[in-house]
Amino acid sequence: MNFFEQTGKVAIGSRLRMLTDKVTEDGAQIYKLYNIDMQPKWFPVFYSLAQGEEKTITELARDIGHSHPSVSKIISEMLKKGYVKESKDKTDGRRNLVSLSKKGVEISKEIEDQLIDVNAAVEEISAQSQNKLWEAIGEWEFLLEQKSLLRRVMEKKKERDSLKVQIVDYKPEYQEAFRALNVEWISHYFTMEESDYKALDNPQGYILDRGGYILLALYEGEPLGVCALIKMDDGEYNFELAKMAVSPKAQGKNVGFLLAGAVVEKAKSLGAAKIYLESNTILKPAINLYHKLGFQKVAGKPTPYTRCNIQMELVL
Amino acid sequence: MNFFEQTGKVAIGSRLRMLTDKVTEDGAQIYKLYNIDMQPKWFPVFYSLAQGEEKTITELARDIGHSHPSVSKIISEMLKKGYVKESKDKTDGRRNLVSLSKKGVEISKEIEDQLIDVNAAVEEISAQSQNKLWEAIGEWEFLLEQKSLLRRVMEKKKERDSLKVQIVDYKPEYQEAFRALNVEWISHYFTMEESDYKALDNPQGYILDRGGYILLALYEGEPLGVCALIKMDDGEYNFELAKMAVSPKAQGKNVGFLLAGAVVEKAKSLGAAKIYLESNTILKPAINLYHKLGFQKVAGKPTPYTRCNIQMELVL
DNA sequence: TATATTTGCGTAACTGATTACGTAATTAAT
DNA sequence: ATTAATTACGTAATCAGTTACGCAAATATA
């Protein structure tokens, strides 16, 4: 098993599967040892029924943590052996009440010695181990219940990505990147308009000199995201979030979220009251992002862009 | 998961399987998160090949602990994706040398971040656990390697059975059992002979009074095994092990071994030099038992029994 | 040198689970 | 009282592995 020590914990799934196989392997042999005509996979169902009460297929499935078709199949196999009997529920014709037959009850008595011995064997292994497998499984079940492995990995990914992403202020040397990243997506989804060129060709005069700001997200030093805060001339101290662009290369690297978050923080620290933005509903990831940051849909503002079909606002 | 706390450790296989499923479940999603077009089940093969060298199907299978058909199938799937390339070994036409293609090497670089994050996620779970699953698996793998679960269960069974089996000296009240148990097997496999009746009908006169002994094995108080030591009249102080019978009810309960062992001990403690016995090779379990106790095949002694086709002897 | 055994590996069938889907019975809603 | 939604559960297809088997190539043996 040296292999798994090399791969690292990613392989925990594979490794678990192999141990499962090894533990399960001997199952059939063990029943044979006790002269019990039973398949290992029947055991959970069998045990659940041995508690005495009649149970439906679905109840059994929930009990033992299998899907109901699995239980359905197991029951039909046990039926063939005569270990269980079925009866229709009188008040509910869909339900199939299953219980141990006389023969099944006999088997359940014969099986007791086996349970004792297997238990003892497992305990023996436990006693020779520093780390208790049984308890470790319980802890994992609990922790995965709280938060799935996928969710945990997503968090780790975000953490790591965040370290690589650096938010910086605009400098003239970034003008080309600011232009290119915006042209890329605008011309992909729509067509460039008059006001686009104005802002992208001359961010200094059109945005910064008018009291606006531009932030960039550098991923490992390379500018992969840009976003402008344009001062609005509505009499109050509000900004429009505009010209936000993230390179497809940065997809899934959390760049958009970090950048937009930084922009909101910037506006807040400047003492702005509101951030306004215009977008289009076909840009679903963007809309989702704005929503996540707290932007709410508003309507009715005049806009120079034909591509705008949704307007949003965040009160700071 | 309350269910498993009730069943006891017998269900460790089921429980392991369910945890395996849960851990594996998210696998495909995780690859998607990193935009990697790969199936979780490919990972072990992929990882093994990423070490650089060309490997054959069989080498890969051994490496990752799968069967070779499994690897064969995985390789053919990865081939379709263009992640690996095959080439025939020039010196051995059977071998199929597999290595990562250029595309595969690219993927292996992309995958690195994912390995880091999954590792971190697993470590996080570990840090929140008292019992380390990863290490516990390692310990189980080691201990099962040393001695399989089946073997351990067998030992536990023997221990428990031995406690229930009691070896006692013959008393007149056991004469019926002594007779019945012997008649059962002799008439099942052969036919009762003159000398059988003599010994079975009158053990006192025919065996005990002539310096012989009879031991019985009681299983939970019930006599299920009998065995006689008949003093031989060959001039030395030797015994013949005879009229050994174990009830089919006691099958697999270790009764035969305990009984025969006790008989050998008895002879030894009496200062006998040898134990001799006659049997038939169709009684395989019996022959095995004698063999296990150290009896060796001998030949040439005269015998009154037509059913005897093998003679054995144990020098004490 | 001929023959037997071993090895590599692909195909086929099986296994123990799953998800997907369909049908019938029950319950809820209008 | 219909109609819609939910529930119970069986069948079929799928999945990721396995064992069984057979062929061809290589190696060992007589």
Strand C close to B21 by CB, under 7 A: yes
**pLDDT of residue A94 exceeding 90:** no
Q: Which residues of B touch A29 (CB under 8 A)?
A: 150
Is residue A298 helix, strand or coil?
A: strand
Domain B3-153 bears CATH identifier 1.10.10.10:
yes
| Strand C contact nucleotides, protein CB < 7 Å | 7-13, 16-20, 24-27
**pLDDT of residue A68 exceeding 50:** yes
| Cβ distance of B15 and A132 shorter than 8 Å | no
| Cβ distance of A132 and B136 shorter than 8 Å | yes
**pLDDT of residue A167 exceeding 50:** yes
Q: What is the pLDDT of residue B2?
A: 56
A187-222, pLDDT tens digit by residue?
Answer: 999 999 988 999 999 999 999 999 999 999 999 889
Is residue A12 helix, strand or coil?
A: helix
Q: What is the pLDDT of residue B242?
A: 94
Q: Nearest-CA neighbor of A60 among A48, A47, A74, A69?
A: A48
Strand D close to B73 by CB, under 7 A: yes
B129 contacts chain A (CB < 8 A): yes
Going from N- to C-terminal start, the domains of chain B cover: 3-153, 161-315
Which of residues 10 through 39 in chain B touch A, CB cutoff 8 A?
10-20, 22-24, 26-27, 29-30, 33-35
- Give backbone dihedrals phi and psi of B233, rounded to 5 degrees, phi first: -110, 60
Which of residues 45 through 64 in chain B touch A, CB cutoff 8 A?
47-48, 63-64
Other beta carbons within 10 angstroms of residue B124's beta carbon come to 16
Nearest Cβ partner for A156 among B22, B117, B130: B117
d(Cα A279, Cα B256) in Å, to the nearest integer?
87
The more confidently predicted of residues A70 and B1 is A70
**pLDDT of residue A1 exceeding 50:** no
Strand C close to B70 by CB, under 7 A: no
Mean pLDDT for all residues in chain A? 90
Nearest Cβ partner for A12 among B3, B134, B251: B134
d(Cα A174, Cα A172) in Å, to the nearest integer?
5
- Are the C-beta atoms of A132 and A126 separated by less than 8 Å? yes
Structure tokens at A294: 């707290």
Q: CA of A29: which chain B residue's CA is closest?
A: B150
| Cβ distance of B154 and A33 shorter than 8 Å | yes
- Give backbone dihedrals phi and psi of A283, rounded to 5 degrees, phi first: -90, 70
Please work out, in degrees rounded to the nearest 5, the angle formed at the alpha carbon of residue B209 by the alpha carbons of B206 and B212: 80
A273 contacts chain B (CB < 8 A): no
Our separate counts of H helices and E strands in chain A read: 14, 10
Q: What is the pLDDT of residue A73?
A: 92
Strand D close to B231 by CB, under 7 A: no
d(Cα B244, Cα B259) in Å, to the nearest integer?
9
Q: Gap from B14 CA to C27 C1', in Å?
A: 36
| Cβ distance of B121 and A35 shorter than 8 Å | no
Q: Gap from A92 CA to D3 C1', in Å?
A: 21
* Closest residue (Cα, C1') to C18: A67
- Give backbone dihedrals phi and psi of A89, rounded to 5 degrees, phi first: -70, 130
**What is the amino acid identity at position B166?**
Q
Q: What is the pLDDT of residue B3?
A: 67
Q: What is the pLDDT of residue B1?
A: 44
Q: What is the pLDDT of residue B88?
A: 87
A271-282, pLDDT tens digit by residue?
Answer: 999 999 999 999
Strand C close to A145 by CB, under 7 A: no
Strand D close to A80 by CB, under 7 A: no
Give me the residue label for tokens 């009496």.
B270
HSE (CB half, 13 Å, CA atoms) of B62?
Answer: 5
Q: What is the pLDDT of residue B235?
A: 86
- Are the C-beta atoms of A150 and B29 separated by less than 8 Å? yes
- Are the C-beta atoms of B215 and B168 separated by less than 8 Å? yes
Strand C close to A74 by CB, under 7 A: yes
Q: What is the pLDDT of residue B89?
A: 85
Strand D close to B221 by CB, under 7 A: no
Strand D close to B17 by CB, under 7 A: no
Strand C close to B99 by CB, under 7 A: no
The distance of B232 to chain A (nearest Cα, Å) reads 38
Residues B190-223: b if buried by 16+ CB within 10 A, e if exposed: beeeeebeebbeebeebbbeeebbbbbbbbeeeb
Q: Gap from A36 CA to C7 C1', in Å?
A: 39
Structure tokens at B299: 């030949």
- Are the C-beta atoms of B217 and B246 separated by less than 8 Å? yes
| Cβ distance of A150 and B29 shorter than 8 Å | yes
- Closest nt by CA–C1' to B95: C8
Give me the residue label for tokens 């039973």.
A38
Name the β-bridge partners of B25.
Answer: none
Task: Tell me which of B126, B153, B161 to substitute to probe the interface with A (most A C-beta atoms closer than 10 Å).
Answer: B153
Strand arrangement, sheet containing A239-246: A165-169, A213-219, A222-231, A239-246, A274-279, A310-315, A296-298
**pLDDT of residue A3 exceeding 80:** no
d(Cα A19, Cα A7) in Å, to the nearest integer?
17
B134 contacts chain A (CB < 8 A): yes
| Cβ distance of B135 and A132 shorter than 8 Å | no
Residues B246-278: b if buried by 16+ CB within 10 A, e if exposed: bbeebeebbbbbbbbebbbebbeeeebebbbbb
Strand D close to B66 by CB, under 7 A: yes
Give the model's confidence band at A2: pLDDT under 50 very low, under 70 low, under 90 confident, else very high.
low
Q: Which residues of A touch B113 (CB under 8 A)?
A: 157, 160
| Strand D contact nucleotides, protein CB < 7 Å | 7-13, 16-20, 24-27
The more confidently predicted of residues B304 and A86 is A86
- Per-residue model confidence as pLDDT tens for chain B (316 residues): 456 667 788 888 888 988 888 888 888 889 988 889 998 999 999 999 998 889 999 999 998 989 999 999 999 999 999 999 988 888 888 889 999 999 999 998 888 888 999 999 999 999 999 999 999 999 998 999 889 999 999 999 989 988 989 999 999 999 999 999 999 999 999 999 988 999 999 999 999 999 999 999 999 889 999 999 999 988 899 999 999 999 998 877 889 999 999 999 999 999 999 999 999 999 988 999 999 999 999 988 888 788 889 999 999 8
pTM of the model: 0.77
Q: Nearest-CA neighbor of A57 among A74, A79, A33?
A: A74
| Cβ distance of A143 and B129 shorter than 8 Å | yes
Other beta carbons within 10 angstroms of residue B4's beta carbon come to 22
Strand D close to B39 by CB, under 7 A: yes
- Are the C-beta atoms of A174 and A157 separated by less than 8 Å? no
Q: What is the pLDDT of residue A179?
A: 96
| Cβ distance of B160 and A117 shorter than 8 Å | yes
A9 contacts chain B (CB < 8 A): yes
A11-30, pLDDT tens digit by residue?
Answer: 888 889 888 988 888 888 89
- Are the C-beta atoms of A274 and A313 separated by less than 8 Å? yes
| Cβ distance of A121 and B16 shorter than 8 Å | no
Q: What is the pLDDT of residue B254?
A: 85
User: How do strand B55-56 and strand B96-100 relate by DSSP bridges?
Assistant: antiparallel
Write the DSSP string, B21-86.
HHHHHTHHHHHHHTT----GGGHHHHHHHHTSS-EEHHHHHHHHT--HHHHHHHHHHHHHHTSEEE
A112 contacts chain B (CB < 8 A): no
Domain A161-315 bears CATH identifier 3.40.50.460:
no
A139-160, pLDDT tens digit by residue?
Answer: 998 999 889 999 999 999 989 9
Write the DSSP string, B231-286.
EP-SSSS-EEEEEEEE-GGGTTTTHHHHHHHHHHHHHHHTT-SEEEEEE-TT-HHH
